[in-house]
Structure 1
Amino acid sequence: MPVRAVSFIAKSGTGKTTLLEKVILELKSRGYLVGAVKHDAHSFDIDHPGKDSHRLTAAGADTMVISSSEKLALVKKHQSPPSLEEIIETYFNDVDIVLTEGFKRGAMPKIEVHRRQRSKTLLCRGEKYDPTLVAVASDEALILDVPVFDLDDPVGVADFIEQAFLSANKKVRGRRASAAH
C-alpha cells in the first residue's frame, strides 16, 4: 500500500512551516504516525566540522548514519537528486502520512497556504491552473473549486487530511492499527 502524502506549498514567508507544525501536532494527537519532508532549494549541511560524522562524510563516505537510542540521521550523497516519490517510497514506509513543505512543482496533492499581504494571487489558481491542488488555507475569504480553510485553523486542515487521505485506509499503520486490536 503506498504511503499517502500531501505537499504544503506557498511563497516564502507565508506561514507554511507554522501551519504545518500545528497540523502535525494535531494529527499526532489523533494517533497517526506522521513523516515530514522539507524541500531546500539551496545546498544545506547537517554535519558540522569537527564532529565525527562530518569527518566520516568528508573522508568520502557515500552514506553515513548517526544513530542514538532516540533517533537517527542519514547523510547520503547522490549523483542526481531523487524524486519526492522516491524519497517517500524509500524512507517513509513506517508512517501513515507524509506532509511535505515545498515541492510546488511536484505531482503530489497540494494544500496552498495563502496570505493576502504576501501575494494577491494563488500559485495553483493564478496564471497557471494546477490540478493537484486539493485545498487552500488562507487569511482571506476565497471562492475556489477546492475547500478553503482559515489560515489559523489547523484542526480543520487536519480534519480534511484525515477525511481525504487517511479515512479511506481502514487499517492504517502505526499506533492506530495496534490500538484497534
Structure 2
Amino acid sequence: MKVFGIVGKSGSGKTTLLEDLIPAIAKHGISVSTIKHTHHQFDMDKPGKDSYRQREAGAQEVLLASSKRWALLHELRDEKEPEIEEFLPHMTKVDLLLVEGFKYHDHPKIEVHRPSYGRPALWPEDQTILAIASDEKFETDGRGLIDLNDAEAIAAFIIDHLQLRK
C-alpha cells in the first residue's frame, strides 16, 4: 500500500483538495483510502448513546457496526498518541492511502499553501514535501508548483511519483 500525504496549515484547503483528489485518482482504477490527523479532541459519538456510555464506563474499544459501515473507537486513556505506522494494519489494503495531516511524518507529501493567508510555508524546512499546491504563483526552489484548483494535475503528480499507473 502506497502512502502519500496532503499537508498544510489549518484552513488552507486540505480537505477540499482531498474531496476533489479522491475521485480524480479513483477514475484511474486506483483504490484509495484516507487517514486524517487532527490536533483537536474529537468525538464521533454522542452523549447518551449506548456506545458513548460504554466508553465512558471504561471500555478500551467500542466497535459500532451496521449494514452500511462500521467504526472502531479506541480510547487512548493515558497512552501516547500512536504513530502512523500503528494505524496501517487497521486499514484494508488499497493501492493508495492518502494522509491528511501527520505533517512531520516521513512520507512523500504535497503542501497546500496560500501565501495570501500570511502563514509560513512548511516546504522550505521539509524535504518530504515534493510539491506545493497553491492558488498563487511563487518560487519553490525547484519543487513542483501545481494549481490548487487542478485536482487532475495533482492526481497525475501523485500517480506518477508513486508509479501507480495501471
Q: Report the TM-score when normalising by structure 2.
A: 0.89
Work out the number of aligned pairs and report it: 163
Q: Distance in 2 between matches of 1:50 and 1:120?
A: 40
Give the percent of matched residue pairs that are identical in Structure 1 and Structure 2: 39
Q: Which runs of 5+ in 1 are unaligned?
A: 171-181
How far is the alpha carbon of 1:166 from its aligned partner?
4.2
Q: 2:14 aligns with which of 13, 16, 33?
A: 16
Does the residue aligned with 2:12 lie in a helix, a strand or coil? coil
- What is aligned with 2:68? 70
Provide, for residues 3-58 of structure 1, a one-character-per-residue CA deviation record: whole Å limited to 9, x for no partner: 21111111111111111110012122222221111111121111111211112212
What is the 5 A alignment of 1:25-174?
Answer: 25-78=23-76, 79-88=79-88, 90-119=89-118, 121-125=120-124, 129-144=125-140, 145-167=142-164
**Counterpart AA for 1:31:** G
Does the residue aligned with 1:65 lie in a helix, a strand or coil? strand
How far is the alpha carbon of 1:83 from its aligned partner?
0.1
Q: Distance in 2 between matches of 1:133 and 1:45?
A: 30
Q: Which aligned runs of 4 or more in structure 1 are off by greater than 6 angstroms?
A: none
Does the residue aligned with 2:161 lie in a helix, a strand or coil? helix
Which shows bigger deviation, 148-157 or 34-43?
34-43
**Counterpart AA for 2:6:** F
**Counterpart AA for 2:114:** R
Q: Distance in 2 between matches of 1:37 and 1:27?
A: 16
Give me the CA root mean square deviation. Answer: 1.7
Q: Which runs of 5+ in 2 are unaligned?
A: none
- Cα pair 2:4 2:98 within 8 Å, conserved: yes
How far is the alpha carbon of 1:92 from its aligned partner?
2.2
Q: Report the TM-score when normalising by structure 1.
A: 0.82
Which shows bigger deviation, 67-76 or 111-120?
111-120
Q: Distance in 1 between matches of 2:138 and 2:120?
A: 11
- Cα pair 2:30 2:164 within 8 Å, conserved: no
Q: Distance in 2 between matches of 1:59 and 1:49?
A: 12
Provide, for residues 116-162 of structure 1, a one-character-per-residue CA deviation record: whole Å limited to 9, x for no partner: 2113642111xxx2111111101122333221110100010011111
Q: Distance in 1 between matches of 2:65 and 2:28?
A: 28
Q: Distance in 2 between matches of 1:121 and 1:49?
A: 38
- What is aligned with 1:174? none
